[in-house]
Amino acid sequence: MNDLDDKGVREALARYSIGPVRDISPILSGHINATYRIATAQGTYILQLLGAVFNERTVYDMERVTAHLSKKGVLAPRVLHTAEGASFLKSPGGRVWRLTTFIEGDIYENLTQDSYAAEAGKVLATFHVAMSDFDAKFLKSKPFLHNIQEIYESFCAAYENLLREEPDKVQREYYRYIQEKMASLMLPADLPTTIIHADPKISNVVFSGGKGICMIDLDTCMRHTPLVDLGDALRWCAISEEAFPNAMSLPQFKYSIEGYRNVEPLSPEMKEYLMQAFAMVTLGLASRFAKDVYHDNYFGWNPKKYPSRKEHNKARARSLVSLTQDILRKEKEMRDILKSCH
């Protein structure tokens, strides 16, 4: 964390009644928000400078969602107010600072044990069940994730420029695969919907003692088919988000499905369209990373591993294209697993 970041963090923390700050630790795993673990004399907290795609409505939505989860007895981080009673702060640049409670537990970037897949599936299903009677009219933010048609059109708008500027012939083939394949993976428009998490990656599941205890990062909750949530979540069965070649684990897929359906039975639509949703969401994310190779202004990146945001996004895009191809190769095996899950 540089001096400018430290100054902004400390200025934000000074607005909260949380006691003297003992430690500020950046958390580098997120793609959009700048996140810090804050230790004070009174306890531990999470401070975030939300990405530019978010605003104060994001904070209000999180308060509504977490209040509903609390009523259902489901653990979730809660928004804390400033000493003046505000739910958020504005940075000089207009972005939003938010402080939340910290949930003690373990966070994983990748599944380290197959049994954790079952636990993560259970946590996601618990979230879906708890949110099933939440009225979506209370969510004020405009949904921007998982509108696959818009995501595809946005990628196509950058496609020719991507090809023109990409010197690597193999990388260009990954972009062509996205452009040619994605439209065929779109789900039917009339599927049943509910409130979904919309970013259920494994690092948004908190574990304690090997058990899944809750979901975090509740910025993107929206009404959509739960297929896109479960399809998105199943990317935790992959080697990693940047592995190449990438592949999914059928045992972890089986554990994930069993964990989910032990809480919430799989609907006929789930069984019919899950593999398509899995591939669609994975390739949709690949297209978003690919688009940012051209625009170079959206996703966070790791300067310790890559020389630039462009190179990091290239690695992410080719990894997720590789994963999509592996998903489609293993469709029959996945359907057999679904048939065995009664």
pLDDT of 140 above 90: no
Q: Look up tokens 């990409």; give the residue.
A: 166
Q: 172 in a domain, yes or no? A: yes
Residues 87 and 125 in one domain: no
Residues 161 and 73 in one domain: no
Residues 125 and 237 in one domain: yes
Domain end point (choices 101, 130, 151) = 101
Q: How far is CA 168 from the centre of its chain?
A: 29
Residues 94 and 136 in one domain: no
Residues 123 and 168 in one domain: yes
Residues 223 and 308 in one domain: yes
More confident residue, 93 or 119: 119
Task: Report the CATH number that the domain containing residue 95 is assigned in CATH.
Answer: 3.30.200.20
Q: 295 is in which domain, residue-wise?
A: 114-340
**Crossing angle (nearest 10°) for helices 169-181 and 268-295:** 140
Residues 145 and 53 in one domain: no
Task: Report the CATH number that the domain containing residue 235 is assigned in CATH.
Answer: 3.90.1200.10
Q: 324 in a domain, yes or no? A: yes
Per-residue 3-state assignment (H helix, E strand, C coil) for 239-260: CCCCCCCCCECHHHHHHHHHHH
Q: 108 in a domain, yes or no? A: no
Residues 252 and 279 in one domain: yes
Q: 14 in a domain, yes or no? A: yes
Q: 290 in a domain, yes or no? A: yes
Residues 145 and 210 in one domain: yes
% of the chain residues with pLDDT over 70: 97
What is residue 330's three-state secondary structure? coil
DSSP for 107-169, written as a single string: --SS-SSHHHHHHHHHHHHHHHHHHTT--GGG--SPP-SS-HHHHHHHHHHHHHHHHHH---H
Over the stretch 245-301, which tens digit does the pLDDT of each residue have?
A: 999 999 999 999 999 999 999 999 999 999 999 999 999 999 999 999 999 998 988
Q: 18 in a domain, yes or no? A: yes
Task: State residue 146's pLDDT score.
Answer: 78
Using 50, 70 and 90 to split pLDDT, how confident is the model at 342? Answer: low
Q: Count of CB atoms within 10 A of residue 298's CB?
A: 16
Q: 287 in a domain, yes or no? A: yes
Domain end point (choices 74, 101, 128) = 101
Q: 107 in a domain, yes or no? A: no
Over the stretch 205-217, which tens digit does the pLDDT of each residue have?
A: 999 999 999 999 9
Residues 121 and 95 in one domain: no
Domain end point (choices 101, 131, 152) = 101
Over the stretch 180-200, which tens digit does the pLDDT of each residue have?
A: 999 999 999 999 999 999 999
The pTM score is 0.93
| Number of domains the chain contains | 2
Beta bridge partners of 23: 39
Residues 31 and 118 in one domain: no
pLDDT of 109 above 80: yes
Residues 187 and 243 in one domain: yes
pLDDT of 166 above 60: yes
Q: Are 229 and 306 in contact (CB under 8 A)?
A: no
Task: State residue 3's pLDDT score.
Answer: 45
